[in-house]
Amino acid sequence: SASTSPSFQASSLHARSRSLSIAATAVAGPMRVCRPHMAAEPILISRRSMVWVPSPPPSTPSPQLHRSQSSSSDDKPPSALSRCSWEPAGPYDTYLPQHTHLPSHSRKKRVLVLCTGGTLTMSPDERGGLAPVEGALTEWMQEMRELRQPEMPEIKVHEYSPLLDSSDMGPCDWARLAVDIKENYLHFDGFVVLTGTDTMAYSASALSFMLENLGKPVIFTGSQIPLCEAYNDARRNLIMSLIFASRDTINEVGIFFHDRLLRANRATKINTDRLLAFDSPNMEPLANIGITIDENEHLLLPQPKGRLRVHQEMDTRLMTVRLVPGFDDGVIKYAVANPETNMRALVLQLYGAGNIPSNKQSFIDVLHSCQERGIVVVATTQCLTGSVMLGHYAVGHALNDAGVVSAGDMTVEATCCKLAYLFGRGDLSEYEVKRLMSVSLRGEMTTNYDASAPPFSEKVAGITFSSHRGKSKSY
């Protein structure tokens, strides 16, 4: 303010300089020295990488790729991505500045592409089936003239080895992605994760919870048709993901597919054979693409107020049950009572707004036993849109009495990943987990307020973005 004294300003500047020096010291181990101006620094990837770099201007040196100190230095092939046999590169609660101090217009944006596999990277094998091809993505991207346009960011590609089908992706792979994003956080303006579509909603939802105080875009994408085919959706999905990953307005994990950018923990796969494979039933897209790129600015998460923190542990000792008429609750009772399962949570996909048969007292007894054993029971709906309202019908009161927690309008993917994240933290009680399931941590559920404001537009690097609040429309 204008009343601030010169001595206070001097002390503030001194404190700011001190915090920056602390940040450089904190990450000087596995990450070497991270300078906030983002000059040409080593790219630290926790596994071996294949890198394609667009030809930079002669005056701009291209950074070299380095493995973190936790990686093996011998010539043995890297282990599978899905294995958990790796050690953290260092502490993950250090102070990290969210953005660089150099104005964005004075340098080229930089995006790191992390490729785990999926249909986008596949080609027909000798039997005619599709299989991931290592190194193919790098070769295809070298031939894409669109990536050499001046408005496109500088791109680095890291291909994991071996490439995986998305059905093989799990918590260990999510942790690997989170750690690699953290290790390269200061060197890039955004990240693109290429993976298969089958479990993309789970992987992206998990990353949204694991990356606390995320201040940069992390965009998941893939394709229904491989990039090697003459007609495919991979090309546009990849290009648009790179564009959104270089946007300063996005501070969250998203999924771009077909013609829309979705919040990751609001998305679900809705189609197996159409190009519009994903949708967010209970929330408008963050952005739609057409002749212009239309952002729903009022839906975007704000800049975080804390440091980036990576939560690697995901406790997946949970079970999801979709009720059908005439179901046998004895199966659920056995799973709950069996000490070998050591279950932490039970996710129920109920009818409508959260209803169960009123004549199933034995099922209510099973839910009471869950409460006695410390098992958190969460109710979701089988409907694609809408929310769970346990008190809307009389039968819902019995669920409330049994300690069942409503998931609101969260997707099943977000519900399961949120439970795994909360239990994986290790510092929350059963009561705290239940309470936080009703709190929107990463924008995964609808709250009771909404914002409205007049529309406005901006033009960035030759691309027009129409940002507005309220109903989506183009300008």
Q: Reply yes or no on whether 199 is catalytic.
A: no
Q: What's the burial of 213, exposed, middle or buried (CB within 10 Å: 0-12/13-18/19+)? A: middle
Sign of CA dihedral 383, 278, 435, 403: positive
Sequential DSSP letters for 167-184: GG--HHHHHHHHHHHHHT
- Out of 94, 100, 116, 119, which one is annotated catalytic? 119
The alpha carbon dihedral of 299, 305, 307, 313 has a sign of negative
Q: Chain-centre distance of CA 211, in angstroms?
A: 8
CA atoms of 34 and 435, how far apart (whole Å): 38
CA dist., res. 117 & res. 40, Å (int)? 28
Cα angle vertex 284, ends 281, 287, to 5°? 130
Longest pairwise C-alpha distance within the chain:
76
Nearest to 197 by CA among 161, 221, 170: 221
What 3-state DSSP class applies to 446? Answer: coil
Enumerate the active-site residues: 119
